[in-house]
Amino acid sequence: MLTFFGLTPQYRNNLFTQIHDLVFHGGGGFQHLEVYNMPIWLRKFHIQKINEHNKKQREELEKAQQKGNTPKKPMGPGINPSSVYNFKK
């Protein structure tokens, strides 16, 4: 396959994977066209920062689970429906 006038399939796959990762995992801070036109070094920088953030969060969660600080049951707001919605008893 000639790639003189275009990108190789592997390069295109890497490019669109990076675009997807930044748009999807970027917390709404990136748009597709913005990332597509972004310099390669800047895309890689942002992906690295997202990876570091996710790793740090995972480590903190694992520490909390080892200490037993995570609740066993989901915690709710503690609303009594009968008093809130004026149900007759």
3-class SS string, the chain: CCCCCCCCHHHHHHHHHHHHHHHHHCCCCCCHHHHHCCCHHHHHHHHHHHHHHHHHHHHHHHHHHHHCCCCCCCCCCCCCHHHHCCCCC
Q: Residue 60 has what pLDDT?
A: 92
Q: What is the mean pLDDT of residues 49-73?
A: 84
Q: Residue 84 has what pLDDT?
A: 46
Residue 1's Cβ-side half-sphere holds a number of Cα atoms within 13 Å equal to 7
**Which residues contact residue 57 at a Cβ distance below 8 angstroms, ignoring those fewer than 6 apart?**
none
**pLDDT for 19-59, tens place per residue?**
998 998 888 888 999 999 999 999 999 999 989 998 999 99
Query: Which sequence spans correspond to the domains of the chain?
Result: 9-68
pLDDT level of residue 9 (50, 70, 90 thresholds)? confident
Q: Residue 52 has what pLDDT?
A: 92
- Torsion angle of alpha carbons 43, 47, 53, 58, nearest 10°? 170
Is pLDDT above 50 for 79? yes
